[in-house]
Amino acid sequence: MSARHEKEKGVNVQVLLRCRPFSDDELRNNAPQVFGPSAEQKDLYEQAVVPIVNEVLEGFNCTIFAYGQTGTGKTYTMEGECKRSKSGPNGELPPGAGVIPRAVKQIFDTLEGQNAEYSVKVTFLELYNEEITDLLAPDEISKVALEDKQKKQLPLMEDGKGGVLVEEATPEGEELIKCGKLNLVDLAGSENISRSGAREGRAREAGEINKSLLTLGRVINALVEHLGHVPYRDSKLTRLLRDSLGGRTKTCIIATVSPAVHCLEETLSTLDYAHRAKNIKISQSDILYGNSLHMSLHYILVNQKMMKSTLIKDLYGEIERLKAENALAHQACVLQSDLEKALQDNASLFQKIGREDKLNADNRALVTNFQMELSQQVGSLQNMVASSMSKQDEHLQCVKKLCHSFLDIHDKAVKDMKKKLTTSRALYISHIEAVQNVVRLHKASSIAGLEEISSLASSNAQSIEDYLDLEAGQAASIFDDLQSTLSAHQGEMALFARDLRQNDAAQADEIQLKSITDFQKAYEEQSKSDAEKLVADISNLVSNHIQRQKELVDARLVDLRETAIGNKANLDVRASSMEGITTDAKRKWQEFSMQAENDAKDCADYSAVKHCRMELLLQQCLTTSESAFKHWKRTCESVNDMGRKHVSSLMSLTRNASDSIEQHDVEIGSARVAAEQDVARNGDDFLEHIDNVSEQEQGSVSGILQAVNAHADTLEKFREDHSGQSSAIEGKALETFQQQYMDCEPTGTTPVRCEPDIPSKGMIESLRAMPMETLLEEFRENNSYESFEVKELKPSLIPRSPLVQLN
């Protein structure tokens, strides 16, 4: 049931608010940003407050106040959170410090930096329930607890220059001149009483606060709408802040809002308040402001000093001049009354006045009609102007759009060009890197090839050396073998020769002895001479035989046999010749011959054995020599083989190196060609792109020109229409006015005008005193440090009003 009831009631339209980030255009134009939740105290101070404090230091009066709903950060903004935080090194304020500590620091830093003589006065006031309390008064604080303390109320005083001062809080020492004033105000919460939930005493308090804020709102409205009456006096706050809302005081309102949706109404109200306050024009004639004031800081900077006595002297001079002015004014009044008396005596003058009144009434009616007609014409003219303006606006919008599109195209083109340039650069860099890589590769492979060649050559040389060493060792051993074999052979030959010599000698001796014995025995009887001759022949034969056996075993053997045969035959011949005589000798010779033949056979056998042995040795020598020869042959072949291999590997290495160099050459060539092609293609692209962009730009520019021409035509038309219409209106109005306007016919009775010697209004006005500020400026000009004693003083024209107590 209740749900249905709720449904019947309907729902409100849901409204959401979303704030987008800055657009490119806004970023480009440096559009200012309001201070969001993440804004820091320093940001706000540097952007908004620093220029104001600088102006205060220049001598201006400035006011900064925080306005907004309770809990939105007014106190945080003005005071900040620096009590609990520690200040940084070099006296830097903590990040949470608000406007007041930062402003004080800036003021003191600047004054110290200028090395000027200065004096700073601080007032700390609380405005609560329309009562002002000096929070810096020492008695109040020391006496009682904070809740029970009897706050001493301070009265407000007017200074006679339109400004308002707090008694006792006014700075003494008027001899100090150049001063600036900075009011820093933390207002009470701006929510209304019903929503604040305050009851009884609290409600009264809230009411007073509300009254102050309402009055502040009314004052702002009156100032914005330039109403004659500005209700500054309706609350103490507005009276106190009067200087800040107008006059020469520069004012900054920091509006604080909450991001929460439930505070939306208060947020809107605060924004509306701030918006209205933004429209206040600060001029010298407007002044004032104020509300529940919590805090105010005044400071006075002394750049120059002026003695009171000089000022008083100057004021006396002003009083004298004003007295003279009064005397003149009095004289003018007397003369005016005399003239009025003379006019009263002149009846014709009254008649003329009557006629003039009637004529003036007729003329007023005429002027009224004329005004109505004129207002109609002006209305139509305004309509025409409005339509023309709207057309102009359209044209301007069109031009603006075209300009934007032109800018967009231009930006896009620039971006594209940049992108293309970046790509080209990257491409060039990659090509150059590729070429560098190829060169590096080439260099590395060349170095590796050369290193390989040198290592191969050195390894080959080493292996040849090793091989030759090995072969030399083997050859030496073979030669040693051969030498030993030959020496063995030589030894054996010597042994054989000795044995042979010994055997031959023994056999010869034995045969000789036997023969001699036999011959001696056989031929003792037959012939001593034949036997001796035969023995001698045998001895010679044996000697020859031995000699020949020494030279050649075979030959000796053959010779021996032949000799033996010859000897036998000789012996046979001799024996047959002596057969008869030496039968025993023949038999013995036969035995001897047989024995000799056997010995010869033994000797031949021995020689054959030795010969075989020698042949064997020679065969061994031959075999060793052959093996040595074969080994050398093999060595030569392997050395040749190795050399051939070495040469072929070196050749293949060189071929590889030259192939790789050629390949690298080809790669570099192709990389260069690719780079050239890319460069050419990019250049063409770039040129084409620039042509496109310039075409687009030309299109945009011609569009703008067309729009401008259209605008010029419209303006020309408007000018023609306007001049035609204006001249028509003027002509008609003049004609009507001439037709209708009634002249006063002269009667001739008007007395001749006499010129009394009365000072003109302009003259009297010129004698009027200037405002105090102007006088002070004039005084400062006349009394600057440089020309203090020399300059002639300009006259001052108005006295100062004394201070008057108001409450």
Per CB under 6 A, residues contacting ligand ATP are 68, 70-76, 81, 188-189, 256
Nearest residue to the partner ligand ATP, using Cβ: 73
In this complex, which beta carbon is closest to ligand ATP, that of residue 79 or of residue 559? 79
DSSP code of residue 97:
B
Considering the complex, what minimum distance in angstroms separates the CB of residue 193 from ligand ATP? 14
Asked whether residue 72 is marked as a ligand-binding residue, the answer is yes
In this complex, which beta carbon is closest to ligand ATP, that of residue 210 or of residue 783? 210
- Look at strands 156-158 and 164-166 and give their pairing: antiparallel
Asked whether residue 70 is marked as a ligand-binding residue, the answer is yes
> What single letter denotes the amino acid at residue 610?
K
Considering the complex, what minimum distance in angstroms separates the CB of residue 150 from ligand ATP? 24
Asked whether residue 582 is marked as a ligand-binding residue, the answer is no
Asked whether residue 377 is marked as a ligand-binding residue, the answer is no
Q: How far apart are CA 257 and CA 740, in angstroms?
A: 63
Asked whether residue 69 is marked as a ligand-binding residue, the answer is yes
3-state secondary structure of 806: coil
In this complex, which beta carbon is closest to ligand ATP, that of residue 68 or of residue 247? 68
Considering the complex, what minimum distance in angstroms separates the CB of residue 279 from ligand ATP? 24
Name the packing angle between helices 583-740 and 553-577 (round to 10°).
170
Q: Which residues pair with 696 in a beta bridge?
A: none
In this complex, which beta carbon is closest to ligand ATP, that of residue 185 or of residue 538? 185
Asked whether residue 238 is marked as a ligand-binding residue, the answer is no
C-alpha neighbours within 13 Å on the C-beta side of residue 740: 17
Q: How far apart are CA 787 and CA 781, in angstroms?
A: 9
CA dist 693 to 398, 400, 407, 450, 682, Å?
21, 19, 11, 57, 16
DSSP code of residue 89:
G
DSSP string, 727-791: HHHHHHHHHHHHHH--PPPP-S-SPPP-------HHHHHHHSPPPHHHHHHHHHHHT-STTTTTS
Q: How far apart are CA 252 and CA 45, in angstroms?
A: 12
Asked whether residue 161 is marked as a ligand-binding residue, the answer is no
Asked whether residue 270 is marked as a ligand-binding residue, the answer is no
Q: Note whether 729 and 374 are within 8 A (CB).
A: yes
In this complex, which beta carbon is closest to ligand ATP, that of residue 189 or of residue 217? 189
Considering the complex, what minimum distance in angstroms separates the CB of residue 301 from ligand ATP? 30
Cα Rg, the chain, nearest whole Å: 73
Q: How far apart are CA 593 and CA 534, in angstroms?
A: 14
In this complex, which beta carbon is closest to ligand ATP, that of residue 70 or of residue 512? 70
Considering the complex, what minimum distance in angstroms separates the CB of residue 156 from ligand ATP? 24
CA dist 669 to 665, 675, 680, Å?
6, 10, 16
Considering the complex, what minimum distance in angstroms separates the CB of residue 256 from ligand ATP? 6
In this complex, which beta carbon is closest to ligand ATP, that of residue 75 or of residue 430? 75
Considering the complex, what minimum distance in angstroms separates the CB of residue 221 from ligand ATP? 23
In this complex, which beta carbon is closest to ligand ATP, that of residue 70 or of residue 405? 70
Q: How far apart are CA 374 and CA 729, in angstroms?
A: 8
Structure tokens at 313: 């002297």
Structure tokens at 322: 């004003």
In this complex, which beta carbon is closest to ligand ATP, that of residue 292 or of residue 507? 292
Sheet of 250-256, strands arranged across: 181-186, 61-68, 250-256
Considering the complex, what minimum distance in angstroms separates the CB of residue 245 from ligand ATP? 21
Measure CA 670 to chain center.
Answer: 38
Considering the complex, what minimum distance in angstroms separates the CB of residue 112 from ligand ATP? 30
> What single letter denotes the amino acid at residue 40?
E
Binding residues for ATP are 68-75
Binding residues are 68-75
